Structure 1
């Protein structure tokens, strides 16, 4: 019997995860990647002995990773519980050892990180954010004692949203408006459709606590002022399963997933830029039949999955004649997430260095106003906030002996603004690094800096192929959530599917892994891979 074939465009985490699942479903799967190495936004930069993850660095819900490493060839696990009881301990806390589950540990080491984040305020105070309720309450008492009761009430509200929005609906594919309307009453009852910052403001009086409990959507490209309050579940996702780090960096996780994919019989083709998705007209249907590479090579397949940027997939890889739903005006109408400037730097260690953490959120003097500048006005403000990542505090192997490797990530407008990054990039990078030095986060950084490079929104647009230089795909907001978010099964073209942060359920490492499973389920339904599997899938 001839095996079905699949092509996955792009080797981001979502693309690789989907390719692994397709291979386990019995498809001969080929990943085509335009760059010279895997990862997409999770690409790795190596220079002068330093190793830098260029993109995602926060890993949560480690049993999603464990499930991928547990898959076998032609043995699908689409009916396995999405949130198995054995990953939960007392009080829904992470069970000891699950950070690197038994199958994951055959490929790489994953370790918990504490605190999850150290959040610095502009006045120099900080909040160590973790899952320990005693610690959290102690820090609230230190910084904003008036908010202790509010935290208890927020905690219960977030728990309810997490239970319904993540544990019960997390893997629901909203392919029809009716599927979404069924759950709207529950979400309204939970207050999950109002803006997150509005929900937070009901429980917290202090500006500091409002920032602490609302910043997390920024890590997936969302504006806390605009994302629906269902994103309060991020707080409980982290609280339940912790924040983790792959030794060797996220790039080590990507490489391990590729090893797993190839062990299952999958094929990876690097330096293979896709020029177009090949489509045939069959009666009234448009059917994807493979891809044509920029080199002119044509690769035929029974189905195509795009892990490329949603807008780029439709605007650049598919002729307008084949797009009835995802027309140019519709695709361009969707709001794109903000972009990023990321500065990668290596510096000499020094005795008595300040006690920064693995993950640091350094907030500027403005919060709501800065978010509006970035997301709505699309201007580069004088002030900024940043996420400082110093992984060598956990994993010294990423830098030469006696040095740290770090990056700092600054949310900035996407390229739909008018910032000339060729003109301002160098000066802005200097400004950010000087800030870390002058404000005492890394004192003396100027003198001990031994390596520096950076990327701007132009990198996301020109190298990664992200429309408008977006950092996280389509912006998560109420009108672009669930059914209103781009669909994992193309409405225009039979046998074409999408996966990754631009599709359902959204951005972030756990979500793109969820997206991979959701897309694989739709493919299994469409191809009736195994009636028992399809019958066992949730509607």
Structure 2
């Protein structure tokens, strides 16, 4: 408990917003959450049609201990809330120019054997690579992820000082070079480089510190929540409401209200203090009073649309210099008949994927063609997401973060660039995976384009993920989670520390909790010896 009860308004009902609201309510605060859409979830949404149920966003369950920690802070466990399945294979990878895909195993031993079968000596090299990845991952969890970088311990703790030469090398060398120095086979290089995409970057742009990601998928394994990822959103909403959070959907925040603040000392730059959030819903406009406001929506939107220029910590000029992660063209496909050629997760890598990444990130940008892409087939694991005798496919094509590429639509009704990219992706999957009649078997089709991310979740520049994890937007270089101009205004979500992905959003929520408590420690919060009681739980 943080002591004084505060009235809190959380803007945005995605995973970060729900987690922040739930944690603050469990800590004794009076919390209201406003979400502009009809249902919570944000990017982690759900769409249903004709017996198919599609997760509209995240689909990889990695870093399970982060979820476990969050649920324990909430007085429950992951196992009580969700049923997780470990995937084996973790995923399948198709390569341009190679007739046979590689099945990435569910554990390190299987993957060492896989790498050895591709390149003599690569099995032992992978063992060393993953040992390093685990060490850096553990260091990151203890020093870099669960901190707002508001204390000296985050920069100069004993572990940091002991590892500083190594960290310097990992931060200044690209992931691409780090991998290429250890493995010769292009396929293995691509398997180890691809996790940069989870971070909104590319192997040649992401620091090699992020080789830690390979420990997650190649050793710790990939999981899936039965019923789909929206089950996580539903569980978090239940817990939040059980602790008293009032979740108001179809309620749009239009302004953060403030009052002038007296300066309290030298160096105090905050000019105002929050007083509430003005919202609009079906009944009209009103202001919700608040002692604290948490902007858990896209940070660009919160700063540039909900605050006046003089109170913006991250004004438009800041965003003009920032680097967005990729956009995406998505296709939700209901397919008649089975598609056993695809695993639960399948990746398709073009031979020259550097050209793919340059098309997405370098001006002038363009849709890559051919494009490396990702396909999720949750019906391989979960029969509830598709009618009997059908498959559920989610196709993601990385695109430039450019809203002018257009919107998607149902049954081919999206803008031309989006629909053409989806058509090319379906054709590529059909040819590489050996499913020649795939397009003819599609009975449900919906596409999503970069403009949809702007409309649906107020995404900066139409990005699908958030600001990219290039060096100057990683760790303490990333946007902070507390306003420098407005007292009582905090931020959570993929735009701020620690970064992109569901686990990072959960951690960002905990960082707000620590800020409110005045807890400047590094590392995860201490879990209560006696679990926090969940109202209504036996």
User: Is the Cα contact below 8 Å between 2:405 and 2:450 reproduced in 1?
Assistant: no
Q: Which of 317, 325, 331 matches 1:329?
A: 317
The answer for the alignment partner of 1:521 in structure 2 is 514
Alignment of 1:217-256 (within 5 A): 217-239=196-218, 241-256=220-235
Alignment of 1:454-465 (within 5 A): 454-465=447-458
Alignment partners' CA distance in 1, 2:60 and 2:298: 21
Alignment partners' CA distance in 2, 1:224 and 1:175: 30
60-69 or 389-398, larger mean C-alpha shift: 60-69
Q: 1:15: Cα distance to partner? A: 1.2
TM-score where L is the length of structure 1: 0.87
SS at structure 1 position matched to 2:285? coil
Is 1:403 equivalent to 2:390 in the alignment?
yes
Alignment partners' CA distance in 2, 1:237 and 1:168: 18
The answer for the alignment partner of 1:414 in structure 2 is 401
Alignment partners' CA distance in 2, 1:107 and 1:471: 27
Alignment partners' CA distance in 2, 1:133 and 1:110: 19
Is 1:297 equivalent to 2:299 in the alignment?
no
Q: Which of 493, 505, 508 matches 2:501?
A: 508
Alignment partners' CA distance in 1, 2:117 and 2:493: 40
Is 1:312 equivalent to 2:305 in the alignment?
no
Deviations along 1:284-334, one digit per CA (max 9) or x if unpaired, are 4311221101342211111011111111111111110212x4232113321
Alignment partners' CA distance in 1, 2:503 and 2:420: 35
Q: 1:318 to 1:130 in 2, by over 3 A?
A: farther
Q: 1:403: Cα distance to partner? A: 0.8
Q: Which of 237, 241, 247 matches 1:268?
A: 247
Q: Which of 108, 115, 118 matches 1:143?
A: 118
Alignment partners' CA distance in 2, 1:420 and 1:13: 26
Alignment partners' CA distance in 2, 1:455 and 1:382: 18
SS at structure 1 position matched to 2:48? strand
The answer for the alignment partner of 1:192 in structure 2 is 170
Alignment partners' CA distance in 1, 2:505 and 2:347: 23
Is 1:45 equivalent to 2:47 in the alignment?
yes
Q: Which of 411, 416, 429 matches 1:423?
A: 416
Is 1:345 equivalent to 2:333 in the alignment?
yes
User: Is the Cα contact below 8 Å between 2:53 and 2:385 reproduced in 1?
Assistant: yes
User: Is the Cα contact below 8 Å between 2:62 and 2:217 reproduced in 1?
Assistant: yes
The answer for the alignment partner of 1:92 in structure 2 is none
Alignment partners' CA distance in 2, 1:458 and 1:420: 5
Alignment partners' CA distance in 2, 1:154 and 1:401: 42
Alignment partners' CA distance in 1, 2:57 and 2:238: 20
Q: 1:514: Cα distance to partner? A: 1.3
User: Is the Cα contact below 8 Å between 2:112 and 2:124 reproduced in 1?
Assistant: no
Q: Which of 110, 128, 133 matches 1:153?
A: 128
The answer for the alignment partner of 1:206 in structure 2 is 185
Alignment partners' CA distance in 1, 2:294 and 2:345: 33
The answer for the alignment partner of 2:88 in structure 1 is 114
Alignment partners' CA distance in 2, 1:446 and 1:104: 38
Q: 1:131: Cα distance to partner? A: 4.7
Q: Which of 440, 461, 473 matches 1:468?
A: 461
Deviations along 1:334-370, one digit per CA (max 9) or x if unpaired, are 11111111100001124xx443211111112321221
User: Is the Cα contact below 8 Å between 2:92 and 2:346 reproduced in 1?
Assistant: yes
Deviations along 1:194-219, one digit per CA (max 9) or x if unpaired, are 21112111111121111111101212
Q: 1:283: Cα distance to partner? A: 2.2
Alignment partners' CA distance in 2, 1:447 and 1:423: 20
Unaligned runs of 5+ in 1: 74-101
Is 1:163 equivalent to 2:138 in the alignment?
yes
Alignment partners' CA distance in 2, 1:441 and 1:525: 57
Unaligned runs of 5+ in 2: 264-270, 408-414, 530-538
SS at structure 2 position matched to 1:145? coil
Alignment partners' CA distance in 1, 2:197 and 2:92: 15
Alignment partners' CA distance in 2, 1:50 and 1:391: 11
Q: Provide the alpha-carbon RMSD of the alignment.
A: 2.5
Alignment of 1:20-35 (within 5 A): 20-35=22-37
Alignment partners' CA distance in 2, 1:202 and 1:533: 40
The answer for the alignment partner of 1:363 in structure 2 is 349
Q: 1:517: Cα distance to partner? A: 1.1
Alignment of 1:59-78 (within 5 A): 59-71=61-73
Alignment partners' CA distance in 2, 1:48 and 1:33: 27
SS at structure 1 position matched to 2:333? strand
TM-score where L is the length of structure 2: 0.87
User: Is the Cα contact below 8 Å between 1:386 and 1:410 reproduced in 2?
Assistant: yes
Alignment partners' CA distance in 1, 2:20 and 2:435: 40
The answer for the alignment partner of 1:481 in structure 2 is 474
SS at structure 2 position matched to 1:36? coil
